[in-house]
Structure 1
Amino acid sequence: MTNGYRPEIIQRAFVDFIGARLHPFWSLTIPKLRLIARYKLSDDLIALRFESNRAFKQQVSKVMGGWQGGQYLDLRVCIDGVYHQRSYSIVGLAHQPLWWLDDTTESHTADQRHTVTIAIKPQGLVSDYLTKQMPLANVVDTSLPLGQFTLEQTSILRQQISENDKPIPLLFIAGGSGITPMLGLITQALNNGHQVALLHYSRTVSSKLQHQWQQLNDNHPDFTYHLIHTEEPTTYLAGTRYLSAEGLLSLNLPLADTQIFACGSQALLAGLYKAAAEITLPIDKQLRDNIIVENFGNALANIDNGSNQTFDKTIPVEEHTVYLRSRQRQFSSDTTILAAAENADVRLAHGCRQGICQLCRCNKVSGVVKNVQTGKVSGDGYESIQTCINIAMTDVVLDV
């Protein structure tokens, strides 16, 4: 008997419809999370631990085999009858125990292989609701783990081995709650044998985080960390509370061959790019090319690589045409693609307008764009871009 299409006698969507009315956590196709615990990591950082449903576990295992350090989830949260979507970093790695849990008391709340933990700074409507108001056992819809702020996505790491036949050094720079995606990244990097250094700038001191870094330092000789408490001068690097070229050089890392991961406010990232511009590397190398960022601030890098001013409309940018292939529409652009589309009365999907939420992400078919936060120029081929933080450097075709 030949194999061919076999229609489902009972549609999975129908089963989901009935199951959701029996219990909101049940679904064959929709990933869902159920809140089971909250933990205070610091004065301004709360961790939320969720149990995942069968659909989440199966899809993550089948498609991804888990998740990577540095990835995030898009949560869909209902508040007063209105659904809101927000992105939150995942703490740690799949199947990795949370270091602050007492194995004898809390590890049996739910099998840790079936849980996922995010960390949130309690600010804004959704974050306040999740950290302070949402009852335990409530259920939210979620995406699968997303994001390219990972070890595998960096061009320098694809080389794998340095001149000394060792994995290349990694530098992680975080400001405040920007430490959350670093928790899994650092553990993964150490497990892969990388030399790792961490700079964490924060206004508060977290005993739980300090305990984690000290444990890693005790277990991994190649891990060093610097906690810069912005109100305590004795913790400053190179004598300044701000990120500086002198501070980076004081780490004694081979910066030309070091991959830098950074996550934090626009002020922190602006300071990083300014410091990178002041450091001289061997010919044909620029330190900013080694930087991968995940940010929660406004755009900060100028279109001109030689400057560190914030991008705005006063900076002259040559006008180019953006084509929307699926809609058969086009418009002229001399600013970010999203802003140009709105100026031409063209509606594109968007959320935060700051490069954080990923809701504006779409596929570029051809053309060159430039990221106004990092200054990096794309290739000319097919790739995923965010319209709110990219400008057209040539005519561009989007699969929209």
Structure 2
Amino acid sequence: MLSLFEAMATPHPLDRYLELVDPMATVRDLRAEVVDVRRPTSDSVTLTLRPTRQWRGHRAGQFVQIGVVIDGVRHTRCFSPAGTEGGSTIELTVKAHEGGLVSAHLHRHGEVGLVVTLSQADGEFALPMPRPPSVLLISGGSGITPVLSMLRTLVAERYDGAVTLLHYADSAAAVPYLDELRALAADHADVKVVFAYTHSEDGDLRGRFGPEHLDAAAPLHAQAQTYLCGPPTLMGAVRDLYDSRGLTDRLHTEDFAPSLASADDADGSVAFAASGICTENSGTSLLEQAESAGLTPDYGCRMGICFTCTTVKTSGCVRNLRTGELDSDPDKPIQLCVNAAVGDVTLDL
């Protein structure tokens, strides 16, 4: 019966007509309505979302894709829920980054009643079952949200292992969950929270991550499973130290900002066959080159997680900007945001 109604609704999906009556009335689309708004710091906003019935919940640490319409165009970005695993609502804390179109829009215009599109939760950065005997969480800046979800979940489950959170920020004023984190540490003997501030003297630690910070915050880190999310400099420093100590298999990571290798073979041209456009290869990501050519390909995270920008490469060679690997197979789907052209490349775009 549903298929019959959808066939009668052509040329648009049935949900397109339903949203004209009620944006939260859907048959297949997953959406969410903002039901609470807080601005815990000067540059961040915390949104509580009520999803439609299709929502299947999230595992602590996973991310979702949020879509908002800005100037008539829908833009999608990835955010990690900060709430306890299995909750009926979704809590997102979004920091307004310089040049961040969606984050800045949500910071300025996020209000009760706003309806956004929503994906099911995804990602392998998540607490495993059964839970590890001990857990170390390391975060910086916006990376606090997925590890906070882990911490809240472990506390809610009355986890009996030791949990340490080491969080990096400029100062106390830049930590969106400061009071809650202090309370969790005060109320639970097995929870330890350590703040490291790079531009303030009042933290537990001062400066950037290094061996002395790790040893001071978590002396038993070698026995713990470590979950890390933060900016590229923090991610790189932690990875290097864990590699040097032979602890790579105990480190689990989630990048919320791309850490891309440079493409130094910037010659040839990039042809967008479906659009009839051909440009000189600049060496930047193919997503950036498409946008510079006036095209508007779909994209989500811009960092190789969500696969929204996947497009078929009909010919040519590309370099993966994260790994440096080359791919010259024809008629192959590639992610535009993390690939750059090596010589002449043709895309079905």
For normalisation by structure 2, the TM-score amounts to 0.70
Task: Kindly report which structure 2 residues correspond to 1:1-400, keeping only aligned pairs within 5 A, or say none.
Answer: 9-11=4-6, 14=9, 15-53=14-52, 57=53, 59-61=54-56, 66-94=57-85, 96=87, 113=88, 115-123=89-97, 124-152=100-128, 160=130, 167-190=132-155, 191=157, 192-206=159-173, 209-235=177-203, 237=205, 240-277=206-243, 279-280=244-245, 286-299=246-259, 311-312=261-262, 353-355=302-304, 357-359=306-308
2: CA distance, partners of 1:24 / 1:37? 17
Q: Relative to structure 1, is the Cα distance of residues 372 and 82 closer, same or farther in structure 2, using a 3 angstrom cutoff? A: closer
1: CA distance, partners of 2:182 / 2:188? 10
2: CA distance, partners of 1:361 / 1:257? 39
Q: Which letter maps to 1:273? A: R
Query: Aligned to 1:91, what secondary structure does the other structure show?
Result: coil
Q: Relative to structure 1, is the Cα distance of residues 242 and 134 closer, same or farther in structure 2, using a 3 angstrom cutoff? A: closer
Query: Aligned to 1:24, what secondary structure does the other structure show?
Result: coil
Query: Aligned to 1:42, what secondary structure does the other structure show?
Result: coil
- What fraction of aligned residue pairs are identical, expressed as a percent? 27
Query: Aligned to 2:47, what secondary structure does the other structure show?
Result: strand
| Alpha-carbon distance, 1:51 to partner | 2.2
Q: Relative to structure 1, is the Cα distance of residues 252 and 19 closer, same or farther in structure 2, using a 3 angstrom cutoff? A: closer
> Contact (CA 8 Å) 1:296, 1:356: kept in 2 or not?
no
> Contact (CA 8 Å) 1:90, 1:118: kept in 2 or not?
yes
Q: Which letter maps to 1:60? A: W
Q: Which letter maps to 2:96? A: P
Q: Relative to structure 1, is the Cα distance of residues 372 and 291 closer, same or farther in structure 2, using a 3 angstrom cutoff? A: farther
Q: Which letter maps to 2:91? A: T
Query: Aligned to 1:117, what secondary structure does the other structure show?
Result: strand
Structure showing the higher strand proportion among its residues: 2
> Contact (CA 8 Å) 1:77, 1:85: kept in 2 or not?
yes
Root-mean-square deviation (CA), in Å?
Answer: 3.8
Partner of 2:314 in structure 1?
none
Query: Aligned to 2:172, what secondary structure does the other structure show?
Result: coil
> Contact (CA 8 Å) 1:42, 1:204: kept in 2 or not?
no
| Alpha-carbon distance, 1:276 to partner | 2.2
For normalisation by structure 1, the TM-score amounts to 0.62
Q: Relative to structure 1, is the Cα distance of residues 52 and 221 closer, same or farther in structure 2, using a 3 angstrom cutoff? A: same
| Alpha-carbon distance, 1:389 to partner | 5.9
> Contact (CA 8 Å) 1:293, 1:374: kept in 2 or not?
no
| Alpha-carbon distance, 1:92 to partner | 0.8
2: CA distance, partners of 1:203 / 1:337? 30
Query: Aligned to 2:84, what secondary structure does the other structure show?
Result: coil
**Count of residue pairs the alignment pairs up:** 293
| Alpha-carbon distance, 1:94 to partner | 4.9
2: CA distance, partners of 1:314 / 1:179? 34
2: CA distance, partners of 1:47 / 1:147? 21
> Contact (CA 8 Å) 1:69, 1:150: kept in 2 or not?
yes
